[in-house]
Structures are given as structure tokens and as C-alpha cells.
Amino acid sequence: MEINGKTRTCGLIGYPVEHTLSPVIHNTLAGVMGHDLVYVPFGVEPGALQDAVRGAYALQVLGLNVTVPYKSEVIGCLQDMDALARRIGAVNTLVRTEGGFKGYNTDMEGLYRAMISERIKIAGEQIILLGAGGAARAVAHLCALKGAGKIYLLNRTLDKAEQVAEEVDHAAGRKLICPMRLAEYHEIPEGKYLAIQGTSVGLAPHDDEVILSDKAFYEKIHTGFDLIYNPWETRFMRLVKASGGKAYNGLKMLLYQGIIAYELWNDVSVPEETAQIIYRKLMTHFVQGQRDAEERS
């Protein structure tokens, strides 16, 4: 593409950002959609976030994605917040408005779109959610908003699971979440469940780690969704498949959260056929990156 005085800039702020796949999503989208836009990652060192957001606004940056460790801290830098982001307490997308940036959370809607694309439903489902950190907490809110039937929230420490359960139940206006210690997984009633792996356990380079390994646990799962996409197939996913379930990774979640951010920045709707073009390119880029890493090791 030709960059000129009319080219709009979007980007990613976080620390570190060297290995992000977001430029693949957004620069490909700009090319396919015919928008004069370029997307670049910006590494923002700790302590410099407020200056970075203020500077981006002064530089006429159209929008920003926000990644770790700033998804909560960035809230203090915003002009306004979307209702979902306010409920979750985390922001991953900034949209330029009059006087400052407005914060959104496209991670959870991205997860929902990814699930829809794989024909996974939340409404009425019995769900096992692993973890009670920031990502799992957001997933719990999403499941409540989308009409989950019951959520068994498993975490190593019970108090954090109870905090998430109290917060989400209060927001939902109903008793939805059953908080449990991870070691109590055998107390989940017999049945078949949608399981969402919301911890960082199993993230590369710790590919062989898994939060639970008991075969009896995986026999309860009809579908497993791991928010991790690196490695391509986590041990959690392998164990779900070994017990006869279907398993998916988080790459489509990454895709759709990016697409939703792009739609917000440009006030457009990205067709599903375009989303699939981006997904194929993203997958090719990711697989090639995996091969390069293996060759270097």
C-alpha cells in the first residue's frame, strides 16, 4: 500500500508487543476492504501508559488495541466506556471520539463470534469454566449475558472463585455460578458440559502443562474451548479429544476481536467471507511462525 498524508493510523499498545499477530489481521483487512489505513504495534513501557494514550490522541490515531498488562489500567485514561467493558472491568479497544478515546471490550464478543462460527452455543448450556483470573472472569460475564444455564467455576483457590461468582451473579440478577476448588472437580454432577479453559496453563513454551489431567474429568466434556492459541493444540484440547469431545483453540477469538475493533474504528461491517480470508492468512502466518521457531530451537 502507499502511505500518504491521508493514511489513518491504528495500532496496539502493550508490553511486550513483538510477537503480536494483530498487524496481520488489520493490515490485511484494510487491503481487502479498500481502506487507507495502517496498523502498527507500539511497545509502551510500564509507567508510560497515560502519556502514550494522550500522545496517540494528539497524533490523530484513529484507534488502538490494548493488550497485557494494560487492559485494566487504561480505564483511567479514557473519556468514556462501553457498558460491556464497564461490566467486565477490562478494555482492549480504544475508539477515537470528541475529546478522547472511548473504551470497548471486543475480546468477549470475539469469543462469542468464534463460538458461533464453530456452532457452539452458550444459551441454556451447562458450562465448566476453568480459572478465575481476568480472562475467566470476563468469560463468566459473557456466559451470563448470553443465557448460560449453569456455570461450575473451578479455581485453585476458592475465595477468588467466590468473588467472581458473587460479582457475576449480582450483575446477572440470578444465581448462576457454582464456585468450586479445582480439586473438587469430581463433585460436578454427571452429564456433558461445554468447558472453557480460561487460564494461562499450557501456554507456549509450557505446551505439556494442563490444569487437570484426570480422564474422568474430560469424559464430562462434549466441547472444550481453550482461550490459548499458542500452541495450536494444547494438552487440554488433546485430552478433550481423547475422551471423545470436540476441541477448539483461541485463534478465532483473536480474529473476531480484531474484526470487531476494526468495525468500530471504521464504522463498517466486515462480511463473513472476508473474515474467513483473514483467518486463512492468520493461520498460515501462525503456522509459519511455529515452523521458524522450531528451526531456531
| Residues composing the chain | 297
- Please report, for residues 8, 40, 41, 105, 207, the alpha-carbon distance to residue 53 in angstroms, rounded to integers and kept in the order given: 16, 15, 13, 17, 35
CA distance 295 to 129: 36
Q: Which of 84, 111, 83, 88 is nearest to 167 (CA)?
A: 88
Q: Which of 193, 192, 194, 202 is nearest to 228 (CA)?
A: 202
The three cell numbers of residue 240 are 478433550
Laid out side by side, the sheet with 177-181 consists of 177-181, 150-155, 126-130, 193-197, 221-226, 246-248
Question: Does 71 participate in catalysis according to the annotation?
Answer: yes
Query: For the chain, how many helices (H) and strands (E)?
Result: 10, 12
Q: Is the dihedral of CA 186, 189, 195, 198 positive or negative?
A: negative
Q: Can you tell me whether residue 156 is helix, strand or coil?
A: coil
Catalytic residue among 6, 71, 215, 241, which? 71
Residues marked active site are found at: 71
